[in-house]
Structure 1
Amino acid sequence: MSPSPSTVGVILTVDDDPGVSRAVARDLRRRYGESYRIVRAESGESALAALRELKLRGAPVAVIVADYRMPKMNGLEFLEQALDIHPGARRVLLTAYADTNAAIDAINVVDLDHYLLKPWEPPEEKLYPVLDDLLLAWRASDRRPVTVTKVVGHRWSARSSAVREFLARNQVPYRWYSSEDPEGRRLLSAAGEEGLRLPLVIAPDGTALVEPEDRELAARVGLATTPATDFYDLVIIGGGPAGLGAAVYGASEGLRTVLVERSATGGQAGQSSRIENYLGFPDGVSGAQLTDRARRQASRFGAEILTAREVTGLEINGSSRVVRFSDGTAVAAHAVILATGVSYRQLDAPQVSELTGCGVFYGSALTEAAACQGQDVYIVGGANSAGQAAIYLARSAKSVTVLVREQSVSTSMSHYLVQQVDETPTISVRTHTVVDAAHGSGHLEQITLRDTATGHTDIVDAQWMFVFIGAAPLTDWLEGTVLRDSRGFILTGPDLTTDGRPPPDWELDRPPYHLETNVPGVFVAGDARAESAKRVASAVGEGAMAVMLVHRYLEQS
């Protein structure tokens, strides 16, 4: 029995040149015609119409191949709209050599999966290998029809901003409606919440949630929050690059693995607009894109990923390591990897805390980037995350001012980012400058800046301030169990020994392994480890190394 049209995957190609359009469709049919339906269009408008019709018919779209240079609506503009209709489709941009910069931009704007230079002949070398990989990834993904979550909130509502950030970082499709717009008011009225607290979240099943907490929200939008069992080989705490790296290697090597994340996988790296010095991505990759691929990879190997679960305690019960959650429940394992990462330090200045989420943001807060278009933006901090955010926001903001305490950003920022900052005309750097206060009623309106060299202060108008002033480890909950240094970073391996002797209360006849804490079977990877490199690549490597040491520990237990 042949599959129905609604269940056959679709490959759609759009190009305004009829000859090119026919050639692409011909090559696609020759390779994929028996397994996929090939649909072609000769304009962005007609392609969008076709996508909407396919959506109504329930036909899943696997891959969209769009030419960049098209009249009225170019390929990038088309893919942005196509993403709203079929978010699960893989996206490819056809470009001429002169348009490669546009293709690179598209990696961040529409989470582009690949771009191909024209001509693509021979297709056996340049077209088919790319499409084969994308179709394999598409088939491995969850392609059930997506009912989009709706969020109704206010522009200057801190919780509204937090909900949007939570959904975006967890790759949950949603639509945003202002409470002041007609559609937003209609949804509020329909839910019986008009004039009450915001945000209102309407889950895919139609349930209305008012100011939901992360765990309630996660459960309603389909994220896993409850462990499938009460005992595992390996529990990984933290879903940043180190935790995801450990999950991939742990699950792929046969360990029953669960990863527990309190907010969203990716950690600080997942919030990065663009990472350019990660091995294997010469054109850069967004943190969200890298995180999504890592999460899908871990899930494909069988790792269980729990979201919106806060860990509050670690107990040692014989050979079992028990991880306790904030709701009183627990999960146990033979071994634990702590990949809790770090959190942004809070800016200690008057009224900053009151305006957090209402113009003041920690980290990139990429969901707010669109609202910064044509605005003056201030960034506090001079490390790589601040530089990446400045370059990303400068694409649409009227101006971006980077505020640094030091005499130069080069003291803490990678050379390649310093060059990009210097070459971007809308970015300026104010050295020897700190924020003394924030001002505003309901949202940020002004900030007071102080020159640390002269003591001079001035007040500037500002509606947007993004803060990157260093980070602190998330390890307070380990007090009394795992040894830490004076700043809270976890001590491991050689840092625990004195003259080659193991730490006090160490029960084994061997010293701790390189990434092992003072508790046998409890390992650390990534930024939470004392003296770690604080780089994405090193965090992923430590996650893989920690799994290797877990195997060694289990073999000797």
Structure 2
Amino acid sequence: MPANENTENSVWNNPEYRQDLAFAKLTEEMLERLRSYGREEAFPANVPLFTHGERQVDMYVVLDGQVDISLPATNGESKVIAHHQRLDFSGELNLLTSQGSLVEARTVRASRLLRIPRNELQRLMRAEGDIANLITSATIWRRIGIIAEATSGIILMGRANDAETTQLQRFLIRNSYPHRIVEEPAEETAQLDDLSDHEPTPTLPAVVLSDGRILRRPTITQLADELGITELPDPEMIYDVAVVGAGPSGLAAAVYAASEGLCTIVIEGTAPGGQAGTSSKIENYLGFPTGISGQRLASRAQLQALKFGVRFAISRDTVTAEQIDGIHKLTLAGGIPVCSRSVVVASGAQYRKLSVENYGQYENRGIYYAATAMESLLCRDHEVIVVGGGNSAGQAAVFLSGIAKHVHHIVRGKSLANTMSQYLISRIESSSHITLYTNSEIVKLEGESSLDCVTWINRGTGESTRKPIGSVFVMIGAEPNSGWLFGTVRLDKKGFILTGGEDGFDGTPYATSVPGMYAVGDVRSNSVKRVASAVGEGSVVISDVHRYLADHRNKFAAEPNSALAALRSVSAAATQQS
């Protein structure tokens, strides 16, 4: 049960918060089944079961006694958020990952607990469907409650419209990490007082950790490492499938691979979701009649993957790929090795940049590539610009029209008919809060520390428009994230990966020129750039992977020394780099 259910204005009292799901109890029958996965242990009072930041924690089921769950707070005081009693179980979302725990668990009195180790929990999640669903649902709702707690998580301090602050905030949001934003040095906490007193002009952005330490201008990788978000691969493991990219196609590939028994790892540089994760609402995806945000869709897919035992290596980009004696060696940023028998490249694409003078200085200072709730806070009741004629731009324009004072939608083409779904075109044409400018382009950006004025012209008439606008959402074209594969696989003139036919190592549509390496989604040449298509490709490619692994299983079994040699080669290379 929640510890603070009597606290006024607590999230645990919010009627929209599903307390019944967050703290659902196991049944006696479920408990009997769980006994085969764990062992009963006795603990005296006031014993920590796991601590904040600890990785790969076990799950505890209370048989007798009480376990309190608490959050470390940036004000130095822990806050008890739940009392677990008989048939309650410990854990929040990181129970399913190898990330650092956000909470602490401690016995209140002498207790008997069923302790389920990590490896047995993974087996349980695959074998006991009803229990797995209950655990998954509970961990999701517990994380939602933690994020909503005013004193939980970390403090991100920075200036409004600052590029570095925006990047850090986006990383935290997309990884569902609890945090608060403080826009200027303030007397809010002792830690912030210390930062203000000792630095007349503090180095911003700064992050105040739950233990009081302060990180000044951290990189994404440094922040991920400190918070325990980073998940590094096992250097001794040879995976069946390594999926590069956690967008819709990569997540689909991971779910289908793991559900069919393949040892799977997903490598993602920032956060699950890919380009689709920046979409405010996708309304034409099958099964969601009222639409779903890209981030929520990605989060659900990631949970499915975790449920089937997929490992995620978050916050490290893949920088090189090579094949050694049939084993694929991927090297991540920092020289971290991953070895796999097959690879699914789902690294996606990114929006192109505008060819306008001083464009770079306004990125994340007025120019954005996503239109989510975070970005919308920056432009409430102000005029904004959306650039692009595809569905992502249309979704952004419709979403922002309900928040901004007015949306100016700029496209280079003569109409939207050939590039955008009709339902979005109809929304744009019928909205009094959106003005569409066809055959137009931005020619000038102005502003000192951030963007504050934009000029665009109609290329047909030459008419010029200049407006005091501080937010431009750019969603044009696509540039493939394939630079790490140059010289490894065949690419088309634009850098997209060529697959199938004469370009693939076999005749399947997703095979690249390298045996055992496949490409799906936006990074693949001539693919349909839609979420549903990406999901379809990611799921279908696994049948090709199965076939490849089956054809080469005898080779892998007959030549174990080759795999060992590959691993030794990788380890030696990593040692030399360090």
Give the % identical residues: 35
* d(CA) in 2 for partners of 1:187, 1:148: 15
Gaps of 5+ in 1: 16-23, 36-54, 62-86, 89-130, 497-502
**2:213 corresponds to which of 207, 211, 215:** 207
Counterpart of 2:517, as a letter, is V
Q: Deviations over 1:455-509 (max 9, x none)?
A: 232321111111111111011221111001111111111252xxxxxx6xx6xxx
Matched, 1:59 2:82: yes
Does residue 521 of structure 2 align to residue 526 of structure 1?
yes
Residues 23-102 of structure 1: pairs in structure 2 closer than 5 A: 56-59=79-82
Note if contact 1:215-1:307 (Cα within 8 Å) is conserved in structure 2: no
Q: How does 1:74-223 map to 2 (within 5 A)?
A: 135-141=134-140, 143=142, 147-179=152-184, 182-183=187-188, 187=192, 189-190=194-195, 192-193=198-199, 195-223=201-229
After superposition, where does 1:192-341 map in structure 2 within 5 Å? 192-193=198-199, 195-230=201-236, 231-341=238-348
Aligned to 2:498: 491
Q: Does 1:392 align with 2:407?
A: no
Task: Judge conservation of contact 1:382–1:412 (CA < 8 Å) in 2.
Answer: yes
| Stretches (4+) displaced over 6 A | 10-15, 31-35, 131-134
Question: What secondary structure does 1:480 align onto?
Answer: coil
**CA separation of 1:548 and 1:464: change in aligned 2, threshold 3 A:** same
Tell me how far apart the structure 1 counterparts of residues 220 and 372 of structure 2 sit (CA, whole Å).
17
Query: Residue 245 of structure 1 contacts residue 543 of structure 1 at CA under 8 Å; is this kept in 2?
Result: yes
Residues 311, 34 of structure 1: CA spacing in aligned structure 2 closer, same or farther, 3 A cutoff?
A: closer
Matches within 5 A, 1:365-444: 366-444=373-451
Pairwise mapping of residues 462-541 of structure 1 onto structure 2 (< 5 A)? 462-494=469-501, 496=503, 511-541=506-536
Question: What is the CA-CA distance between 1:216 and the residue it aligns to?
Answer: 1.2
CA–CA separation in structure 2 for the residues paired with 1:529 and 1:386 = 21
Deviation at 1:229, TM superposition (A): 3.6
Give the Å deviation of 1:204. Answer: 3.4
Partner Cα separation in structure 1 for residue 193 and residue 163 of structure 2: 18
> In structure 1, how many angstroms separate the alpha carbons of the residues matched to 2:342 and 2:132?
34
Asked whether the equivalents of residues 235 and 337 of structure 2 are also in contact (C-alpha less than 8 Å), the reply is no
1:205-245 CA-to-partner distances (Å, cap 9, x unmatched) read 43321111111111222213311344211111011001111
Distance 1:319 1:282, change over 3 A: same
Match status 1:551 vs 2:546: yes
CA–CA distance in structure 2, aligned partners of residues 239 and 228 of structure 1: 19
**1:267-289 Cα distance to aligned partner (Å, 9 max, x none):** 01111000001111111001111
2:321–2:328 Cα contact (<8 Å) kept: yes
Is the 8 Å Cα contact of residues 249 and 520 (structure 2) preserved in structure 1? Answer: yes
Tell me how far 1:326 sits from its aligned partner: 2.5
Partners of 1:248 and 1:441 in 2: CA distance: 47
- Partner in structure 1 of residue 34 of structure 2: none
Taking a change above 3 Å as real, the CA distance of residues 14 and 326 of structure 1, as seen in their structure-2 partners, is closer
Letter in 2 for 1:475: S
The one-letter code matched in structure 2 to 1:59 is A
1:59 Cα shift? 1.9
1:547 is paired with a residue whose SS is helix
Cα contact 2:330–2:338 (8 A) shared by 1? yes
User: d(CA) in 2 for partners of 1:298 and 1:351?
Assistant: 42
Q: Report if the CA contact (8 A) 2:2-2:12 is conserved.
A: no
Secondary structure at the residue paired with 2:291?
coil
Aligned position for 1:80 = none
Cα gap change, 1:193 to 1:132, in 2 (>3 Å): farther
Could you tell me whether the CA contact under 8 Å between 2:195 and 2:202 is conserved in 1?
no
**Which amino acid is 2:214 matched to?**
A
**Which residue of structure 2 lines up, in the alignment, with residue 346 of structure 1?**
353
CA separation in 2, counterparts of 1:345 and 1:481? 24
Paired amino acid for 1:195: T
CA distance in 2, matches of 1:32, 1:331: 39
Letter in 2 for 1:159: E
Which runs of 5 or more residues in structure 2 are unaligned? 29-77, 85-101, 104-129, 553-578
Question: Contact 1:177/1:184 (CA < 8 Å) preserved in 2?
Answer: no
Go from structure 1 to structure 2 and tell me whether the alpha carbon gap of 1:232 and 1:348 turns closer, same or farther (over 3 Å shift). Answer: same
Corresponding residue SS for 1:258? strand
Change (3 A) 1:60 1:269: farther
Q: Secondary structure at the match of 1:372?
A: coil
CA distance in 2, matches of 1:161, 1:11: 26
- Deviation, 1:450, is 1.3
SS at match of 1:59: strand
Aligned to 1:358: 365
Q: Over aligned residue pairs, what C-alpha RMSD do you find? A: 3.2
CA contact (8 A) 1:154 1:160 kept: yes
The structure-2 alpha-carbon separation of the partners of 1:209 and 1:5, relative to structure 1 and needing over 3 Å to count, comes to closer
Letter of the 2:376 counterpart: A
Amino acid at match of 1:58: I
